[in-house]
Amino acid sequence: MKIPKYPALALLQAGLTIVTLHTPVALAADGKLIATAGLSQIEGSGGGGIVPWATISGYDSRDQISAGAVVTQVDVDDYRLTMLGASLSFYDSLEVSVAQQRFEIKGAGIDIKQNIVGLKYRLYGDVVYSDWPQLSVGMQYKHLEDGDIAAAVGADNNSSGTDFYLAATKVHLGAIAGYNAVWNLTARATKANEMGILGFGGIKNDDYEIMFEASAGILFSRNIAVGIEYRQKPDNLGLGEDNWTDYFISYIPSKDFNLTLAWAELGTIAGAAGQSGLYLSLNGQLW
Amino acid sequence: MKKFATLCFIFSLLTGCASTQMSLYDELGGKDTVAQIVDNFIHEIEYNKTMFTYFAESDIERFREKLNEHLCLLANGPCTYTGDTMEQVHAGMNISESDFNLGVDLFIAAMTKANVPHTVQNKLLAKMVPTRKEIIYL
Ligand code: HEM
């Protein structure tokens, strides 16, 4: 798989072509209840902040297409991660996303770039309306552009890897003292070390492992969501890679725009312990 | 994972404690508030081009009466619904998912204008959720 130099542009172009071929499609996607489309997670897929959800990013309904863009920065003690992403969603059923992660080792002048292409397909349900949770399968193909550090820390593969996941998400209207609640559970098969930034597989383990990820939140109004996320991670390199937790608050003033602020506790990364800090994410729906 | 379990526990406590003897109809404010929601909703429909086209040929007085009864029924109020089933009413309209959602957005606006609190709005919306499959794409 070859990644174009400007994956976001290529994706938008492809999307526009599809849209122009499909004339009767409504372009301003607004076919979901506000705040039920979710956000874009740190690898570009529709989700929470660090966990991919079963939701298809964007407010498209069965007759609509939507496109969105996201920028996220996580700033912890010794590292800073910046993510730029874009996604296209088709008929609330298929999501295609591209993202670039830039991982900066503070004070060392080292920048590690990773490109990610994500695909997600909804298998069943509607997060709000079906009796059972919405279910989706997805994959994230990750291409590490700067693999030197990964090689240095003993990654088995320092160029690319693919994660596969199954996610279930449900919104319960009025469930908690009248407030809407949302939860998500994801099982991910992965070899990635620190999402792939430190390569794939390592001295300790070189096989796919199943990791569990979860999110839970309450919507205190139509525009404010508060919650917590958890993401289990493998320790293939034997560097004490930790599971991740974050506590988030999202402000969703309209279907076109939302802002998330979180406190991220990322534990030990590449041997440096106690990495925590602010997570800030801006999401926009282009149509 | 422990934090997560604690959170889930708190969630379930909150849900338990919040259950009261009052019917949702009472919580909404009874007959008067429901009538006000319906009036506001009709007003919203009149000013929305997409929604209005569906109702262009409708008997609005009948709709007003039946929707009052239907909401009363959904909210466990003391009424009998004398209208037709959701399938019968909406069959042939081929209401899309996004138009249904537009209806919900307008309905939320109607409740907000009738000063229905956010939490009570959600409880009524939760009662409407199962009816969607009897309304769209028919
Ligand atoms: C949960 C959502 C909905 C509920 C509970 C609901 C309920 C009702 C009720 C109780 C009636 C009157 C029935 C009767 O006259 O016997 C009605 C009529 C009608 N509804 Fe709905 N409705 C919903 C959604 C929608 C949507 C989304 C549309 C259009 C986009 C729509 C279009 C209509 C129309 C046009 C009529 C009048 C039919 C006629 O003139 O005979 N409804 N609805």
Q: Give tens-digit pLDDT for B57-91.
A: 999 999 999 999 999 999 999 999 999 999 999 99
Query: How many other C-beta atoms lie within 10 A of the C-beta of residue A208?
Result: 17
- β pairing state of A272-285 and A65-76: antiparallel
Residue B107 scores a pLDDT above 60: yes
Name the β-bridge partners of A94.
A90, A121
Q: Does an H or E element contain A151, and which?
A: helix A148-152
pLDDT given for residue B11 in this prediction: 55
pTM to 2 decimals?
Answer: 0.88
pLDDT at residue number B2: 53
Tokens of A103: 């991982």
Q: What are phi and psi of A185, to 5 degrees?
A: -130, 130
Q: What is the pLDDT of residues A134-157, one digit of tens each?
A: 999 999 999 999 999 999 999 999
Contact between B79 and B69 (Cβ < 8 Å): yes
ipTM of the complex: 0.84
B43 annotated ligand binder: no
For residue range A214-244, what is the model confidence (pLDDT) as tens digits?
Answer: 999 999 999 999 999 999 999 999 999 999 9
Identify which has the larger pLDDT, B24 or B9.
Answer: B24
Q: What is the CATH number of domain A7-20+28-285?
A: 2.40.160.40
Q: From atom 9 of ligand 1, which residue's Cα is the shortest distance away?
A: B67
Residues of B in contact with A216 (CB under 8 A): 4, 7-8, 11
Residue B25: predicted pLDDT: 97
**Polymer length of chain A:** 287
| pLDDT computed for residue A20 by the predictor | 42
What is the dotted CATH code of the domain comprising B23-134?
1.10.490.10
- Number of cross-chain residue pairs from A and B with Cβ atoms under 8 Å apart: 81
Give, as one character, the DSSP assignment of residue A196.
G
Distance, in Å, from the CA atom of A169 to the CA atom of B29, rounded to the nearest integer, reads 33
**Could you tell me which of A287, A245, A281 has the C-alpha nearest to residue A30?**
A287
Q: What is the reported pLDDT for B12?
A: 54
Indicate if the pLDDT at residue B99 is higher than 60. Answer: yes
Domain boundaries, chain B: 23-134
Chain A residues in contact with B104 (beta carbon < 8 A): 33
| Residue ranges, chain A, pLDDT below 70 | 1-28
Give the pLDDT band (50/70/90) at residue B138: confident
Instruction: Check CB contact under 8 Å for B123 and A177.
Output: no
Residue to substitute in B135, B136, B138 for testing ligand 1 pocket (most ligand atoms within 8 angstroms of CB) = B135
